[in-house]
Amino acid sequence: MRETYELRERELSRSVEEFAEQRGIVMQSTNQGMNLIPLADGKPMTEEAYLSMGVEEREGIAARRKEVLEQLSEVNPQILAVVKEMREAVEAFVKNAVRELLSGYHADMRSLIPEETPELAAFLEALEQEIINKRYLFLGESGSAQPFGGAQLQVMRQQFAKQCRLNIVVDRAGESSAPVVVENNPTYSNLIGGVDFIEEQGVLKADFTQIRGGSLLQASGGYLIVQAEDLMQNPLAYYSLKRALRSGEVKLRDQMAEMGLRSAAHLEPQAVPVNAKVIVVGDERLVHLMQTADEEFARLFKIHADFSGTLERTPEVLEQFVSYINHHAQEDGLLPLDQGGMARLVEEASREVSHQNRLSAQVQRLLDNLIEADLLARKEGQFTLNRDMVSQALSKKRYRHSKIEEIVKREISEGTILLDFEGSRVGQVNGLAVYQVGRVAFGVPSRITAQAYAGRSGLINVEREADLSGRLHTKGVLILNGYLGKLFARKQPLALSVSITFEQNYGGIEGDSATAAEFFVIVSAIAQVPLKQSIGVTGSMNQHGEIQPIGGVNEKITGFYQFAKEHGFPDGSGVMIPAVNKVNLMLDEEIVAAVREGKFHIYPVGRIEEGLELMTGLPAGELQSNGEYTPQSVFALCMEKLQEFSREAKAAQVDKKPDGGPGQMDEAASNP
Q: What is the CATH number of the domain that holds 193?
A: 3.40.50.300
Q: What local confidence, expressed as pLDDT, does residue 661 receive? A: 41
CA 181 from chain center: how many Å?
12
Model pLDDT, residue 583 = 95
Let me know whether 570 and 462 are in one domain. yes
The pLDDT, as a whole number, for residue 143 is: 46
Q: Let me know whether 395 and 438 are in one domain.
A: no
Report yes or no: 106 and 124 within 8 Å, Cβ to Cβ: yes
Give the Cα separation of 35 and 37 in Å (integer): 6
Q: Is residue 113 part of a domain?
A: no
How far is the CA of 182 from the CAs of 219, 220, 245, 373, in angstroms? 9, 13, 17, 30
Q: What is the mean pLDDT of each run of 10 residues along the chain (672 residues)?
A: 72 78 76 74 76 79 80 78 77 77 74 77 80 69 49 59 69 83 91 78 71 88 92 89 91 72 65 91 87 87 86 93 92 92 93 92 89 94 93 90 88 89 95 85 93 90 91 93 90 88 89 94 96 96 94 94 94 96 93 96 96 96 90 94 87 60 36 32
Distance CA 535, CA 429 (A): 8
Q: Which of 251, 271, 300 represents a domain boundary (last residue)?
A: 300
Distances (CA, A) of 67 to 11, 25, 36, 62: 19, 10, 11, 9
Give me the pLDDT at residue 350, please.
Answer: 93
If asked whether residues 497 and 580 sit together in one domain, one would say yes
Residue 458's identity, in one-letter code, is: G
Whether the CB-CB separation of 389 and 371 falls below 8 Å is answered with no
Q: Residue 629 domain-assigned? A: no
Range of the domain at 45: 2-94
CA dihedral over 319, 320, 321, 327, signed as positive or negative: positive
Residues forming beta bridges with residue 496, ordered by sequence position: 454
**Angle made by CA atoms 410, 413, 416, in degrees to the nearest 5:** 80
Return the amino acid letter for 444: V
Residue 154 has a pLDDT of 61
Measured distance CA(317)–CA(311) in Å, rounded? 8
59 contacts 16 by C-beta, under 8 angstroms: no
Domain match, 192 and 45 both: no
In a domain, 138, yes or no: no
DSSP symbols for 32-81: TEEEEEEEETTEEPPHHHHHTS-HHHHHHHHHHHHHHHHHHHHHHHHHHH
User: CA-to-CA distance for 154 and 147, rounded, in angstroms?
Assistant: 13
What pLDDT, on the 0 to 100 scale, is given for residue 572?
A: 93
Same domain, 441 and 549: yes
Asked if the structure places residue 519 within a domain, the reply is yes
CATH number at residue 330: 1.10.8.60
In a domain, 448, yes or no: yes
Distance (Å, whole) CA 636 – CA 455: 20
Q: Kindly state whether residues 294 and 343 are assigned to the same domain.
A: no
Q: CA 151 to CA 607: how far, in whole Å?
A: 98
In which element (H, E) is residue 30 found?
A: strand 25-30
Which three-class secondary structure state does DSSP give residue 281? strand
Strand 43-44, strand 33-40: pairing: antiparallel
Query: Does residue 317 share a domain with residue 288?
Result: no
Domain tally, the chain: 4
CATH number (domain holding residue 568): 3.30.230.10
β pairing state of 211-213 and 203-205: unpaired
333: region left, alpha or beta (phi > 0 left; psi from -120 to 50 alpha):
left
Indicate the residue among 602, 617, 632 that finishes a domain: 617
654 is a domain residue:
no
* Whether 497 contacts 452, CB under 8 Å: yes
CA separation for the pair 604, 557 (Å, rounded): 12
Q: Are 569 and 599 in contact (CB under 8 A)?
A: yes
The answer to whether residues 393 and 434 belong to one domain is no
Cα 22 versus chain centre, distance: 97
Q: What is the DSSP letter of 621?
A: -
Q: Is residue 373 a contact partner of residue 385, using CB atoms and an 8 Å limit?
A: yes
- Which pLDDT value is given to residue 669? 35
Query: Which DSSP helix (H) or strand (E) runs through 199?
Result: strand 198-200
Look at residue 165 and tell me if it is in a domain. no
How buried is residue 239: exposed, middle or buried, by Cβ count under 10 Å (0-12/13-18/19+)? middle
Same-domain check for residues 396 and 412:
no
- Of 574, 566, 501, 471, the residue nearest 532 (C-alpha): 574
Give residue 591's identity as a one-letter amino acid code. Answer: I
E strand map for 62-185 = 180-183
Domain closes at, from 589, 617, 645: 617
Q: What pLDDT does residue 670 have?
A: 32
Per the CB < 8 A criterion, the answer to whether 227 and 282 are in contact is yes
**Pairing mode, if any, of strands 223-227 and 277-281?**
parallel
Closest Cα partner for 592 from 318, 365, 347, 421? 347
Give dist(CA 96, CA 535) in Å, integer: 100
Residue 156 falls inside a structural domain: no
Q: Both 266 and 356 in a single domain?
A: no
SS3 107: helix
Same domain, 355 and 461: no
Same domain assignment for residues 345 and 452: no
For residue 360, the surrounding DSSP H or E stretch is strand 358-360
DSSP structure class, residue 214: -
User: Which of 366, 381, 524, 350 is CA-nearest to residue 451?
Assistant: 524
Q: What's the whole-model pTM score?
A: 0.68
- Judged on CB neighbours under 10 Å (0-12, 13-18, 19+), 51 is exposed
Cα(426)–Cα(634) distance, integer angstroms: 13
Beta bridge partners of 459: 498
Phi/psi at 200 (5° precision): -130, 110
